[in-house]
Structure 1
Amino acid sequence: MSIRLRLTLWYSSILAVTLLFFGIALYTFFSYKLQTDLRNELIVQAQEVNKEIKGYGFFFSLPNLREFKSAGIYMQSISIQGQVKRSSNLNSNLPYSEESINKVLHGGVSFEKIRVNQEFNMLMYYSPLLLEGSLVGVLQVATLTDDVDHFLQNIRLILISVGLLTILFAASAGWFLSRKALKPIENVIDAANTVEKSADLNKRIDYTGPMDEIGRLTDTINGMLARIQGMYSELDDAYRAQRRFVSDASHELRTPLTTIRGNVDLLEKIWNTAALKAGDESGTKQIQESSVELSKEAMHDIASEAERMSRLVNDMLSLARADAGFTMNKEPIELRSLVDEVIRRAQFLPRSTEWQTGDIDVLNMAYVRGNKDYLQQLLFILIENAFKYTEQGSVKLDALHARGQFGIRISDTGIGMDKDEIPHIFERFYRADPSRGKKAGTGLGLSIAKWIIDQHDGSIEVKTRKEEGTTFTVWLPELHSLSSPD
């Protein structure tokens, strides 16, 4: 059963019970009031008759009813001797019950409803008939109740008809209003069904009504859908990145493994050949020297590829820590000494270009909060990239200070990049162009650099021009509360 139907039934039932109690109370009031008025009128008429009765002894006569303005009132007296006298407006004697007569003779009064000739309903009042204080008989005062009965019957019909029509109208109006009020909930259901069937998280619930409970519910669900859409997009992007990462990592690992395996097979052949020739005196010295040279080359290739695999595994481990939410330990660091150490060690890196140091005096007495090892790793990643993609010209390091931040700038005169490739260079295994793919490397360095700078609440600024060079500027927030070492 739907909520709309339950709501309609609930308030229709409440309205029906309310109308029922109201109708019963109203009908009871009218019935009691009319019956009481009739009885009071009969009592008053009986009292007037007793005041105006005439006669002596057991002989008496009833007064003229017109004198009492009693149209519709009928009277009949029954003497103690059993004689019956009736008013002039009666064509025949009124019926009576012996029980009521005896009750009056014993000092009481009685009311009785009777039906005359199967046509008329009457209310009859039995009271003592007194003449000069003596009981001479019983007085019956009666009146027709058909008008009252018809009126009460009409009241019942009106109350029932009006009640049923009111309930029907209220149920119809309630059904319409509940449908209108619950329309946003139907929209919520439709939107949820659309999302479930088509996975369309762009679907939103249209609502133009007031900001009541349903309005707030609609806003909450729309916000929830937006948040789910964002999370779904992030998860989808992360899943695609993960698949690409696994694919690229597998490709990167397969190359050195293939090289190592090939060289191992070559060594086995060389050693097997050397073993076969060991007992043959006809073997020449030239063959032995050739085997030694081939073995050295194979061992060199194996060592080189193993080192490459080691770097790749270390880089992947660093990124795995980053993905796992690893938080590095940070402390106040004197930036000048850190940069001096990087400059000294950078000159020993493999390179085919000039290594220059610019003005770094701005770093004197400069402190940042960070991790020394990771910051050095960040700078070496950028310097090694500059050496790698600069075949001629120079690579230069200098420093800046602006807006409460220190900048360490590393610029080269290498192959550069297109500007539209800059947003992607920090993605894992991304190579800006085919020429970069020819250079040795894991393709993870800039991803690690991005993670390190994010951990230090800093940023990396990139400026590049194709075939002219690239400039990376590492910005680190200045530590104001410390001007000298502890």
Structure 2
Amino acid sequence: MIRIKSIFLKLFITHIVILILSHLVFAIASYLLFKNNLTELHLNLEGFNQLKYLFIPSSIISITITGLFTFYLTKRITAPLREINRVALLVARGQFHQRVNIKTRDELGQLGETFNYMTHELASLDQMRKDFIANVSHDLRSPLTSIQGFARAFLDDKIPNDKKRHYFTVMKEQTERMIKLVNDLLDMSQIESGQLEIRPELFNLSELVRQVMARMDTEFVNKKLNVELISGEVQDIYVFADHDRIDQVIVNLIQNAVQFSTYDSTIEVFLKREEQAVVSIRDYGPGISQEDIQSIWERFYKADIARTKKAGTGLGLSIVKHILALHQTDIQVESEVGIGTTFTFTLPLTLNKSNNMK
């Protein structure tokens, strides 16, 4: 059995078959009607035969002309599909800048617009992927190069004894930087596969914030930052959430603030109890334009004005948003260029440990 793969041929053959069948039906019906009514039509058998032979070339001419017209219409109707197929093959080869040119406003036109939107999104994602690979390569190569250089200097005994502790500290910081990058990549991989899970538990949010700030004290000192914890609460605030993941959220947000704060500036961490626990982290850095605020949550997003100029791979804020989404809460950002930025998120409250464990 012959299988036709072209929709153009299928449509064309279908129209021709319908055309021929319609002529056959017309011919049979005419034959029966004329034969039974020759007397009434004042036709003899010879005249009927002449009429019959005239009908045959007329049908051939009709089928030919109509067939050509059908060929034209079928080709015109299927042209958008052929165009989409052509561009799809190019897109499959990585040419994401390709667009289909369909001017109709019917369903095929809508399909073309959807296809163009898809290729635009693929092009954006491909560019972010390329930028991401370049950024990751740079962020891995820089600390590895530093560690390699220091290790070689130690092996060659070229570092004075009084400087060794300093360079060991630098190597430790570079190693921690690589570990954080790898951890971010693993977290993003889990997020994309839907395997990132949270394990809520009761914990002291106030104490967690204090611990995070204490752990990051070296970063504050190196940049001469004044970091303040501002809370008007008399008692510590307890929440029900994933302790480790919220620790990760707070660390990422404070590190983000540190990276984009100028030397001798201030970072403020607000902690208060409302209907929920509210955590806000404010810096007085360059700020974010309103056009870029929505984009900062995207994976791999990097733009100088969107706070990714100095470090990072564009994963931190995306991971933060996903972690908070798993907690069924959101994060808000308020920013003004040249003034600073504030990130705020909330967590469900628990009054105290005993109430939660009942």
TM normalised by structure 2 equals 0.72
Distance 2:238 2:153 in 1: 57
Distance 1:347 1:478 in 2: 22
1:272-311 alignment runs, 5 A limit: 291-311=160-180
TM normalised by structure 1 equals 0.55
Cα offset, 1:317, TM superposition: 1.3
1:119-268 alignment runs, 5 A limit: 154-158=44-48, 160-161=50-51, 164-165=54-55, 168=58, 172=62, 179=69, 183=73, 185-197=74-86, 199-201=98-100, 203=102, 205-207=104-106, 219=107, 221-268=108-155
Cα offset, 1:305, TM superposition: 1.5
Cα offset, 1:457, TM superposition: 4.0
Cα offset, 1:256, TM superposition: 0.7
Which among 334, 346, 354 is matched to residue 212 of structure 2?
346
Alpha-carbon spacing, 1:222–1:327, altered in 2? closer, same or farther (3 Å): farther
Cα offset, 1:170, TM superposition: 10
Cα offset, 1:412, TM superposition: 2.9
Alpha-carbon spacing, 1:462–1:14, altered in 2? closer, same or farther (3 Å): same
Contact 1:417/1:465, CA 8 A, preserved across alignment: yes
Which among 432, 442, 456 is matched to residue 304 of structure 2?
432
Q: Identity of aligned pairs, percent?
A: 20
**Max radius of gyration: which structure?**
1
- Equivalent residue letter for 2:144: L
Higher RCO, Cα 8 Å, sep 6+? 2
Contact 2:231/2:270, CA 8 A, preserved across alignment: yes
Q: Which residue of 2 aligns with 1:378?
A: 249
* Structure 1 residues 300-334: Cα deviation after superposition (integer angstroms, max 9, x where no partner): 33222222111111111111222223241455x55
Alpha-carbon spacing, 1:389–1:192, altered in 2? closer, same or farther (3 Å): same
- Equivalent residue letter for 2:315: L
Counting matched residue pairs gives: 323
Extract unaligned runs of 5+ from structure 2: 1-8, 88-97
Q: Which residue of 1 aligns with 2:17?
A: 6
1:74-93 alignment runs, 5 A limit: none
SS in 1 for 2:152: helix
Distance 2:126 2:228 in 1: 41
Contact 1:5/1:175, CA 8 A, preserved across alignment: no
SS in 2 for 1:244: helix
Alpha-carbon spacing, 1:400–1:162, altered in 2? closer, same or farther (3 Å): farther
Contact 1:362/1:400, CA 8 A, preserved across alignment: no
Runs of 4+ in 1 over 6 A off after TM superposition: 361-366
Contact 2:229/2:270, CA 8 A, preserved across alignment: yes
Larger strand fraction of residues: 1
Q: Which residue of 2 aligns with 1:19?
A: 30
Distance 2:117 2:348 in 1: 30
1:270-419 alignment runs, 5 A limit: 270=157, 291-329=160-198, 331=200, 337-348=203-214, 349-350=216-217, 351=220, 352-359=225-232, 371-390=242-261, 391-399=264-272, 407-419=278-290
Cα offset, 1:396, TM superposition: 2.4
Contact 1:12/1:171, CA 8 A, preserved across alignment: no
- Equivalent residue letter for 1:299: F
Cα offset, 1:297, TM superposition: 4.1
SS in 1 for 2:208: helix
Contact 1:194/1:200, CA 8 A, preserved across alignment: no
* Structure 1 residues 405-429: Cα deviation after superposition (integer angstroms, max 9, x where no partner): 7643222334434444433433436
SS in 1 for 2:157: helix
Cα offset, 1:239, TM superposition: 1.8
Contact 1:363/1:406, CA 8 A, preserved across alignment: no
Alpha-carbon spacing, 1:478–1:190, altered in 2? closer, same or farther (3 Å): farther
Q: Which residue of 2 aligns with 1:468?
A: 339
* Structure 1 residues 204-254: Cα deviation after superposition (integer angstroms, max 9, x where no partner): 5445xxxxxxxxxxx3x4554444444333333222211111111001111
Distance 2:135 2:53 in 1: 79
Give RMSD over aligned pairs. Answer: 4.2
